[in-house]
Amino acid sequence: MKDPPADLAATLEELCAGGSSQVARDRAAAIVERLDERYFELSEQEEETGQPTGWEEPFRQARAAAAVYEAAGLDPLRAATEATYEALYALDGDADAVLSTILAT
């Protein structure tokens, strides 16, 4: 995945610094919505034209944003499980990369 959107990186940094989980969840939810809309738009365009549109990057970024959203959840087990699931798709199914990322934090 290319660099995440700046607003997603800032939201994650704020969450890691002990910022409000609800504020982080709200921001991440808005980012997920924006990126999912872009992904759907590009995916539909590719289906219609048969030409590559690059939908994969917004899809991965949306999944990364969804991982941040889930990580800010109140239930620790659900937050960890859902964040890991979304991160797996953000990293194109590379479980080793997800584990390395988790262990590095």
**pLDDT tens column, 18-44:** 766 788 888 889 999 999 999 999 999
Q: How would residue 13 be classed by pLDDT, with cut points 50, 70 and 90?
A: confident
Mean of pLDDT values over 89-98: 75
User: Is the Cβ–Cβ distance between 88 and 78 less than 8 Å?
Assistant: no
User: Is the Cβ–Cβ distance between 53 and 42 less than 8 Å?
Assistant: yes
**Where do the structural domains in the chain lie, given as residue ranges?**
6-104
Separation of alpha carbons 95 and 92, rounded Å = 9
Q: How many CB atoms lie within 10 A of CB 37?
A: 12
Percent of the chain at pLDDT above 90?
26
pTM value?
0.72
Separation of alpha carbons 62 and 38, rounded Å = 9
Chain mean pLDDT for the chain: 83
**Cα-based distances in Å from 23 to 11, 20, 62:** 9, 5, 18
Higher pLDDT, 87 or 39: 39
